[in-house]
Amino acid sequence: MRASFIHCADTHLGYEQYGVRERFNDFTRAFQAIVQDALERRVDFVLIAGDLFHKRAIDARTLLHAIDGLSKLKTAGIPVIAIEGNHDRTYYRDGLSWLQFLCYQQYIILLTPRYENAVPIIEPWDSRTMLGSYVDLQGGRLRVYGLSWLGASTESAIKGMAQALDQHRAEEEAAGVEYRVLLMHTGIDGLVPRIQGLPSLGQFQVLEGKVDYLALGHVHKPYTFGGWIYNPGSPETCSAEETQWTDRGYFYVQVDTAEPMLEPEARARFHHAEHLQNPRRPFLRYDLRVDGLESPQALYARLDEFCRQHGPEYQEAALAPVVLLHLSGILAFDRSALDQTHMEEMIRNAFRPLHVRIDNRANDQDYEPDEGEFDGRDRSLWHALEKHIFAELLARDNRFLAEKDQWSLVLADIKAQALRKDEPAQIAQYLREKRASLFEKKEE
């Protein structure tokens, strides 16, 4: 028996990332590219391992974009087998999800098993009830099972599925099943630190030998294990974290049960899986450590180096990039001194991007007065304590370090003027005069 199929997941249609409408279209383009490849390769079926949509309550445009792609596959006679991911499920158990709607409209086959004591019931998908845990293809010789998103119950469902498959092995053989695929919307614990509570690789081992191809989703990082576990990653960039996984995309799988094929680092299998990258918009993340940069100008200079080095290659790109500047570390000056508008303009001039986002996670130096130096209960010392705090805070900004004591007196005077409710113009003029004299002194 020979067959071919495409395995994708986490397309997240409808995601208007950063509130940018063109990002909404980008996710559609990524999905359409996969559909087009399936049509050109004339695959026998397509698998969607959950999270077709980005959210449960989609708008009409998102639904139309999904139907546009799925209808092309339907017209070509290519069935689409899908499961629900955590983003696809309804808010209420008795509600109707949009994947169920697509199933009722015969655009997809949605596998939704019933359970008894956490064990999936092995029963064929019924086109009348739209329920069932598996569907047979290729004249009954290839069987696709499906388990939708189960959250904390995933581990017990894996054990239950292994038991159920053991119990139905004789039935499979009698029916002439030669190749088995299992769709699951879950991942392997530990591959992405921020995603926890998933089954371990060892917990999946109970399925080895019972299924030939385990098609996963949910985790946007692509990976394979043992020549039988596959996760394609997200076709489009859902978060800046994903920029480090440049090989995200989908799998094109060829099956031949008459001639075992040797997968890399695995025993002989009856398939060959090729990981492909679909076209997508460039998404750049620049992590800029601010430690050791003593002024905003020093930070701008570092950013300018990045812009000069990488900007030219994207100015003529077919798709303008999304650029994220991530600031981290300890600032040697007050964070309010940073001109974010200026930094955004630098990036726009260099990259001509679709969107610029600055994520400022840098911290100011914290002030902690020396223990025992001042007793806050003694009101006679409050004025001295105030000037001491001003001086210590000013010392954390290198621009004011040399004249921190003089500047502390200026701040104390400004506070006093504000408390007296002096005219704002008068206070501003006082600050301008002090700034001119102190900075002039510093230059001397």
Residues 287 and 319 in one domain: yes
Q: Which helix (H) or strand (E) holds 109?
A: strand 109-110
In tens, the pLDDT along 393-425 reads: 766 666 666 677 777 778 878 887 887 888 888
Number of domains in the chain: 3
Distance CA 410, CA 429 (A): 12
Domain assignment of residue 353, yes or no: yes
Domain assignment of residue 345, yes or no: yes
Residues 23 and 171 in one domain: yes
Distance CA 50, CA 26 (A): 19
Domain assignment of residue 408, yes or no: yes
Residues 26 and 80 in one domain: yes
Looking only at the bridges linking them, the beta strands covering 80-82 and 45-48 are parallel
Distance CA 435, CA 140 (A): 83
In tens, the pLDDT along 4-20 reads: 999 999 999 999 999 99
Residues 415 and 349 in one domain: no
Q: What is the pLDDT averaged over residues 258-278? A: 77
Residues 356 and 400 in one domain: no
Residue ending a domain, among 360, 393, 420, is: 360
Q: What is the pLDDT averaged over residues 342-371? A: 83
List, in sequence order, every beta strand (DSSP E) within 111-194.
Answer: 115-116, 119-120, 134-137, 142-147, 179-184
Q: How many helices (H) and strands (E) does the chain have?
A: 12, 19
Domain assignment of residue 164, yes or no: yes
In tens, the pLDDT along 233-250 reads: 999 999 999 999 999 999
Residue ending a domain, among 241, 276, 311, is: 276
Residues 261 and 303 in one domain: no
Residues 153 and 172 in one domain: yes
Domain assignment of residue 22, yes or no: yes
Q: What is the pLDDT averaged over residues 163-177? A: 91
Residues 188 and 90 in one domain: yes
Residues 258 and 296 in one domain: no
Which residues does 411 contact at the CB level (< 8 Å), separation at least 6? 390, 394
Long-range pairs for 135-140: beta carbons < 8 A, 24 or more residues apart: 135/79, 135/81, 135/109, 135/111, 136/175, 136/177, 137/3, 137/44, 137/45, 137/79, 138/1, 138/3, 138/44, 139/1, 140/175, 140/176, 140/177
Which residues does 162 contact at the CB level (< 8 Å), separation at least 6? 206, 207, 210
Residues 147 and 258 in one domain: yes
Domain assignment of residue 370, yes or no: no
Residues 181 and 260 in one domain: yes
Tell me what pLDDT residue 379 has.
47
Domain that holds residue 328: 283-360
Domain assignment of residue 434, yes or no: yes
Domain assignment of residue 373, yes or no: no
Arithmetic mean of pLDDT over the chain: 87
State the CATH number of the domain containing residue 202: 3.60.21.10
Tell me what pLDDT residue 431 has.
84
In tens, the pLDDT along 381-391 reads: 555 666 667 76
Residues 170 and 216 in one domain: yes
Q: 89 near 149, Cβ under 8 Å? A: yes
Distance CA 156, CA 249 (A): 29
In tens, the pLDDT along 25-74 reads: 999 999 999 999 999 999 999 999 999 999 988 999 999 999 999 999 99
Residue ending a domain, among 276, 292, 312, is: 276
Locus of tokens 């004025």: 383
Locus of tokens 């025992």: 372
DSSP, residue by residue, 286-353: EEEE-TT--SHHHHHHHHHHHHHHHSHHHHT-SSPPEEEEEEESB-SS-GGG--HHHHHHHHHHHH--
